[in-house]
Amino acid sequence: MEIVVVDNSSTDGSAEMAADEFSQVNLIRHENKGLAAGYNQGIAHANGQYLLFLGSDAFPQSGTIAGIIEYLEGNKGVGIATAKLILRNGGLDWDAHRGFPTPWNAFTHFSGLEKFFPKSKLFGQYFKGWENMEEIHEIDMCISHFMLVKKEVFSQIGLWDESYWLYGEDVDLCYRVKQAGWKVMYLPRWQAIHYKGASVGVRKQSQDFSAKISAETKAKARQASIKAMEIFYNKHYANRYSSIITKLIMLGIKILAKVRG
């Protein structure tokens, strides 16, 4: 196993700490062009057949990485797999168990309908809450904070889309992977702890860890999440839906931007 750490122009001494204390790590100091660009830098320096994209606030439990690689070895049609992500309070991180944000799925999620009918296949497509979360099953997408990918997938579909600065890069990758005929699997037998948002400070689950993050960084993260929605829709959905639906979607994104500030 090799460990590649991509440092996106940090200024807090963490890169120096990694170099001094973890000599086995391949440290890549990289201009901060966004998360997807950092991932691509990591791929360029990785030699393995399997690539684990791991956020700095995610911690796999013992045996998780080896177990998922063994699963991938035995399932040739699977391109991406993720573990069960557990929040610090013991709850599930549902972002690791997602459906694609079609106009309908996005509407039911942001309107709150999914909260009232979380196990409904009509209203609960965003998080697919009707699935048995203790059994292995296929999903649309998972987040890149714990995403194990066969390297050959990138040879087929290309690298991460660097149009996404933060957020959305994982939605885009999983969408392209599924379009290419690969499966994305949720494997709850293996787990990882996710502090969720510790790097950007916009999640209530990690406010105690992100108290020193500047208001400017938090605002930039919120703006990036809105921009990611626009990029993904225009890239993958604009040609699939009518101009009326597209206008409504763009209006909804603008309203969400105002709400999030």
Torsional sign, CA 93, 36, 155, 152 = negative
- The encoded tokens of residue 40 equal 């691509």
Distance CA 246, CA 72 (A): 38
Q: Are 97 and 167 in contact (CB under 8 A)?
A: no
Q: What is the pLDDT of residue 209?
A: 60
Q: Token pair for residue 89?
A: 């309070």
What average pLDDT values come out for the chain (261 residues) when binned by 10 residues?
93 92 94 94 96 95 98 98 95 96 96 96 97 97 97 98 96 98 98 83 58 75 92 97 96 90 70
Domain ranges of the chain: 214-261
Which pLDDT belongs to residue 260? 79
What interhelical angle do 169-179 and 35-44 show, nearest 10? 60
Q: Is the dihedral of CA 213, 225, 163, 255 positive or negative?
A: negative
pTM over 0.85: yes
3-state secondary structure of 39: helix
Unique residue bearing structure tokens 């691509």? 40
Q: Which residue has the tokens 């609960």?
A: 124
